[in-house]
Amino acid sequence: MSNPRIGVLALQGDVREHLAALNAVGADSVPVRRHVELDAVDALLIPGGESTTMSHLLRELGLIEPLRARLAGGMPAYGSCAGMILLASEIIDAGAQGRAAVPLSGIDMTVRRNAFGRQVDSFEGDVDFAGLDGPVHAVFIRAPWVERIGPGVEVLAQAAGHPVAVRQEAVLATSFHPEVTGDRRIHRLFVDIVTEKA
């Protein structure tokens, strides 16, 4: 597969930036808002945003169970920030009942929402990322971190003593936003994962 078809969940967040980054590294990227669009892609990227709002929209659009089914069936996925939260199997501080962030169980991990603090606590810094040549400049915006990983989950990067990038088989997650820095190595890694899976 030379040009994998990768969807970007287009409910909220840096959708255009992720579409552009994926196209820049050889993917055919398309926005995904409906079940039929999800069925038509080889993989899915879940961008940042507000995880409880995104979960509410996933419920309204009837996408939660189709997403869980595709992930359980081995669909490659990548989640950044809120996307990491949604890909978790367990979420700490998931939000108010009825509007809580919904775990899609793409990676066997427990994630804490807003772990680094509120919007004013957002920050940037360089992190070492396993398998990449040189550190990644990471932008953390109301970012989560990983508190528990299950067997088979690989930690790729850490900050403040917690995992901030992980991978389990064909599913990748970062608590930071690579789409805003111009560094395309993580998007390229994801495209490579999708291509290998195919």
Round the average pLDDT of the chain to a whole number and report it.
94
DSSP 141-187: SS--EEEEE-TTPEEEEEETTEEEEEEETTEEEESS-GGGTS--HHH
Q: Look up the domain containing 92 and give its range.
A: 5-197
Domain total of the chain: 1
Q: Distance of alpha carbon 79 from its chain centroid, rounded?
A: 0
Q: Considering the chain, what percentage of its residues have pLDDT values greater than 90? A: 88
Over residues 165-195, the pLDDT tens digits come to: 999 999 999 999 999 999 999 999 999 999 9
34 assigned ligand-binding residue = no
pLDDT, tens only, 73-127: 999 999 999 999 999 999 998 877 777 999 999 999 999 998 987 766 678 999 9
185 is in an annotated binding site: no
Identify the residue whose tokens are 């990067």.
157
Query: Which residues form the catalytic set?
Result: 81, 177, 179
- Residue 94 has a pLDDT of 82
Residue 31, classified by CB atoms within 10 Å of its CB into exposed (0-12), middle (13-18) or buried (19+), is middle
Length of the chain: 198
Please state the separation of Cα 21 from the chain's center in Å: 14
141 is in an annotated binding site: yes
Binding site annotation covers 49?
yes
Quote the pTM value.
0.95
Judge whether 107 and 93 are in contact, CB under 8 Å: no
CATH of the domain at 11: 3.40.50.880
Helices within the chain (DSSP H only)? 15-24, 35-39, 51-60, 64-72, 82-87, 185-197
Quick check: 2 pLDDT over 90?
no
Q: What is the largest CA-CA distance in the chain?
A: 44
Confidence at residue 114, expressed as pLDDT on a 0 to 100 scale: 86
Whether residue 1 is predicted with pLDDT greater than 60 in this model: the reply is no
Instruction: With a cut of 90, say whether residue 11 has pLDDT above it.
Output: yes
